[in-house]
Amino acid sequence: MRRIMILPVIGLLGLSACSGGNLQPITITPQEERLAIGTAAGALGGLAIGSLSASAGVGALIGAGVGLAGGALYNHHLEQQRNTYLQGYNAARSGQAPAPPPQ
C-alpha cells in the first residue's frame, strides 16, 4: 500500500523538474488532445486494475495502449461526423442537394 502512495509523488516530482527555463505555451490539435486523454485515462484505469493484481506497471502499459486505441477510434468518429456535416453545409450553401451518407 505504501508503494502505491509513493508512485504519484515520484511522478509529480519528475514533472516539476521539467518546469525550469523559458516556458512557452504548448498548443496541440484537438486530435492530439483526444489521443492524449484516451491514453492517460487508459493508463490510470490499467494502473488501478493492475494494482489489484499486483502488476500495476503492466496494467498501466496495457491500459495506455487500450486508451490510445479508444482515443483514436473516437477521433476517427468525430472526424467522419465533422466531414459529413461540412459536406451537407457546403451543399446547402451552393444550392445542391446533399449526398446521402455512406452506408
pTM of the full structure: 0.61
pLDDT attached to residue 99? 67
State mean pLDDT over 1-29: 63
| Confidence band, pLDDT 50/70/90 cuts, at residue 59 | confident
- Per-residue 3-state assignment (H helix, E strand, C coil) for the chain: CHHHHHHHHHHHHHHHHHHCCCCCCCCCCHHHHHHHHHHHHHHHHHHHHHHHCCCHHHHHHHHHHHHHHHHHHHHHHHHHHHHHHHHHHHHHHHCCCCCCCCC
Highest mean pLDDT: which range of 6-10, 31-35, 39-43, 76-80 = 76-80
